[in-house]
Amino acid sequence: MSKNKSEYLINRKDNQYEVVIGLEVHAQVTSASKLFSTSATKFGAEPNTQVSLVDAAFPGMLPVINEFCVKQAIKTGIGLNAKINKRSVFDRKNYFYADLPQGYQISQFKDPIVGEGKVILDMPEGQKEVGIERLHLEQDAGKSIHDLDPQNTFVDLNRSGVALMEIVSKPDLRSPDEVSVYIKKLRSIMRYLGTCDGNMQEGSLRADVNVSVREKGSKDLGTRCEIKNVNSIKFMQMAIEYEANRQVDLIEEGKPIDQETRLFDTKKNETRSMRSKEDAHDYRYFPDPDLLPLEVSDEFVNDLKDNIPELPDDKKKRFIDEFKLSPYEATILISDIDTAKYFEEVVAKMGKNKDIKLAVNWITGELFAVLNNKNLEISQSPVSAKNLAILVNLIKNGTISGKIAKTIFELMLDGDKDPQKIVEEKALKQQSDPKAIDALIDKIINDNREKAIEYKQGKEKLFGFFVGQAMKASGGKANPQLINEILKKKLQ
């Protein structure tokens, strides 16, 4: 395998293969209650404590659509620049499983709530558009737990009936990297909208990955395999890499690729056949007679449109225009809504005489490093936006040096301390009084006369020595610019 620039190709003796990927992302709708019942949806609750009679499919129980979940799906559709279908239909997808109490999942088959749309990816080589085929609403199933007892399977129905959005992309993705950027972009859009928290560890976002390969330049699609239920970006990338190579090997050996559903074994880093096309379930889809077709008015959709917050692409454009950020900086800051919020708060708190570049450097540099080290989200940042703004301002107005600022930042981490107070308490204020520095430098030159003579004779390297001595003598507080200026004058 090799990478030509950014093109992802699989090379074999005489042939080069392109990988074609489409994703079916299952995103849990952010909602206090389930899609068709009033049960709570909190993650991590005790098993079977968030289950209503409807979720457990008791006789005579009927689903009633949760309007909030409908709004969330439509908002997401708007965020995906997609067509909102004013009439959609809930269907039953019939199959038996212990964690599927009704014996069917309520989903949308022929008439989804959201139609075609698109997502723009920022790739290193430029922007790429990925088509969205559809978004539909459906219920999640419960959870079967097989490893608690040697004989029995336990079933937890807390998830049963939780609202999911299935977002189906067109087969527009061509590499594991694009998949990563696509998932991150989807997550970013949904987090901006507040329609899905995107938490992959908690299963709020997972995907079925469709992979096929074809000879480079070919317009035909190869036979695809679907890798079910992959729950991290890393695993998606690993699974695609394995699966694409497996398929290429088959082609090279002249063997056919079976259209099948496969599972990714994260321990062995391989995909395994789960069921072939022949064994595929016949889900016997038909419109759920307990639910009327879902009809939404123009007014309903327009009202949601009018209240859509600024989305990542627009925010990026604004950051570039308004704050003169580079596209690269803007991309980093907008990718996560909490980062963008933090940044905007820092900017707001810095007041009139602000240095936005400096703030960006501090956020993407020191702050990100700390968050990374401590494994924290920016929403859990130990340093508030307000205090970071004060720190940046202290540097900007010359109160402290960049070097001292780093020391202060370390101290701020413990309990989000006000940097201004740290400066005062520790007497770390930068020495910017020319007279005092003048005296300090006189003393150093006096103490190091021989070196001063050497410097004057041309040994210019020694300038650094004098700067160092002056900084040391001031306890690091002397304004380095002033030291430079005064030293130059005195050593002439």
Partner 1 sequence: MSDIIKQSLTELVENIKNKKLSSTEVTKAFIDRSEKSKELNAYITEDFTSALNKAKKFDQKPNLDLKLPGVPMAVKDLFCTKDVKTTAGSKILNNFVPTYESTVTDNIWKEGAILLGKLNCDEFAMGSSNETSFFGNVQNPIDKDLVPGGSSGGSASAVAGQLTPITIGTDTGGSIRQPASFTGTVGLKPTYGSCSRYGIVAFASSLDQAGPMAQNVKDCALLQEIISTYDSKDSTSIDFKRNQYSKELTNNIKGKKIGIPKEYRVDGMPKEIEDLWQKGIQYVKDCGAETIDISLPHTSYALPTYYIVAPAEASSNLARYDGVKYGFRAKGENLIDMYEKTRSEGFGSEVQRRIMIGTYVLSSGYYDAYYLKAQKVRKLIKNDFDEAYKKVDAILTPSTPSSAFKIGEKKDDPVSMYLNDIFTVPVNLAGLPGISIPAGHDAKGYPLGLQIIGKAFDEQNILNIAYAMEEKIDFKNKITDWWIK
The region of 11-19, 278-286, 298-306, 384-392 touching partner 1 under the rule CB under 8 A is 278-286
The region of 18-26, 288-296, 382-390, 457-465 touching partner 1 under the rule CB under 8 A is 288-296
Q: How many residues bind partner 1 (CB under 8 A)?
A: 30
Position 45 contacts partner 1 (CB under 8 A)? no
Listed in sequence order, the residues at least 6 apart from 184 whose beta carbon sits closer than 8 Å to its beta carbon are 233, 335
Nearer to partner 1, 160 or 387 (CB): 160
Position 289 contacts partner 1 (CB under 8 A)? yes
The region of 62-70, 200-208, 330-338, 443-451 touching partner 1 under the rule CB under 8 A is 62-70
Q: Shortest distance, CB of residue 62 to partner 1, whole angstroms?
A: 5
Position 34 contacts partner 1 (CB under 8 A)? no
- Quick one: which of 125, 220, 282, 414 contacts partner 1 (CB under 8 A)? 282
Question: φ, ψ for residue 84 (rounded to 5)?
Answer: -95, 125
Q: Shortest distance, CB of residue 108 to partner 1, whole angstroms?
A: 15
The H or E element that residue 240 is part of is helix 233-252
Q: Shortest distance, CB of residue 88 to partner 1, whole angstroms?
A: 14
181 three-class SS: helix
- What are the structure tokens assigned to 26, written together? 């299952």
Q: Shortest distance, CB of residue 277 to partner 1, whole angstroms?
A: 12
Q: Shortest distance, CB of residue 116 to partner 1, whole angstroms?
A: 25
75 three-class SS: helix
The H or E element that residue 275 is part of is strand 270-276
Contact string 122-161 vs partner 1 (x = CB under 8 A): -------------------------------x-x------
- What are the structure tokens assigned to 171, written together? 């087969």
Length of the chain as a residue count:
492
The region of 179-187, 284-292, 406-414, 431-439 touching partner 1 under the rule CB under 8 A is 284-292
- What are the structure tokens assigned to 192, written together? 């901006």
Q: Shortest distance, CB of residue 113 to partner 1, whole angstroms?
A: 16
Position 324 contacts partner 1 (CB under 8 A)? no
Whole-angstrom Cα distance, residue 25 to residue 140?
Answer: 13
The region of 8-16, 49-57, 267-275, 402-410 touching partner 1 under the rule CB under 8 A is 49-57
Position 56 contacts partner 1 (CB under 8 A)? yes
Position 250 contacts partner 1 (CB under 8 A)? no
The region of 56-64, 114-122, 246-254, 437-445 touching partner 1 under the rule CB under 8 A is 56-64
- Quick one: which of 11, 43, 47, 57 contacts partner 1 (CB under 8 A)? 57
291 three-class SS: coil
DSSP E strands in 12-125: the ranges are: 16-28, 87-88, 91-94, 104-107, 117-123
Q: Shortest distance, CB of residue 254 to partner 1, whole angstroms?
A: 32
Nearer to partner 1, 216 or 284 (CB): 284
- Quick one: which of 11, 43, 65, 429 contacts partner 1 (CB under 8 A)? 65
Matching residue, tokens 């990925």 = 130
Using an 8 Å Cβ cutoff, are 392 and 355 in contact? yes
**Among 3, 24, 15, CA closest to 241:** 3
- What are the structure tokens assigned to 355, written together? 């240095």
- What are the structure tokens assigned to 354, written together? 């602000």
Position 64 contacts partner 1 (CB under 8 A)? yes
Nearer to partner 1, 15 or 144 (CB): 144
Q: Shortest distance, CB of residue 298 to partner 1, whole angstroms?
A: 23
Residues 164-223 binding partner 1 (CB under 8 A) are: none
Residues 89-118 binding partner 1 (CB under 8 A) are: 92, 94, 96-98, 101-104
Nearer to partner 1, 43 or 283 (CB): 283
215 three-class SS: strand
Whole-angstrom Cα distance, residue 346 to residue 419?
Answer: 14
Using an 8 Å Cβ cutoff, are 257 and 223 in contact? yes
- Quick one: which of 3, 6, 7, 58 contacts partner 1 (CB under 8 A)? 58
Position 296 contacts partner 1 (CB under 8 A)? no
Position 1 contacts partner 1 (CB under 8 A)? no
Nearer to partner 1, 70 or 346 (CB): 70
Q: Chain-centre distance of CA 455, in angstroms?
A: 55
- What are the structure tokens assigned to 311, written together? 């989305």
Q: Shortest distance, CB of residue 287 to partner 1, whole angstroms?
A: 9
Cα 233–239–240 angle (5° rounding)?
A: 90
Q: Chain-centre distance of CA 424, in angstroms?
A: 39
Give per-residue burial for 299-308: e unless 16+ CB within 10 Å, then b: ebbeebeeee
Q: Shortest distance, CB of residue 95 to partner 1, whole angstroms?
A: 9
Parallel, antiparallel, or unpaired: how do β-strands 260-265 and 270-276 relate? antiparallel
Question: φ, ψ for residue 477 (rounded to 5)?
Answer: -90, -20
Whole-angstrom Cα distance, residue 364 to residue 155?
Answer: 44
- In whole angstroms, how far apart are CA 367 and each of 21, 111, 421? 36, 46, 20
Q: Shortest distance, CB of residue 239 to partner 1, whole angstroms?
A: 27
Nearer to partner 1, 30 or 52 (CB): 52
Whole-angstrom Cα distance, residue 325 to residue 333?
Answer: 10
Binding footprint of partner 1 on the chain (CB under 8 A):
53, 56-65, 92, 94, 96-98, 101-104, 153, 155, 282, 284-286, 289-292
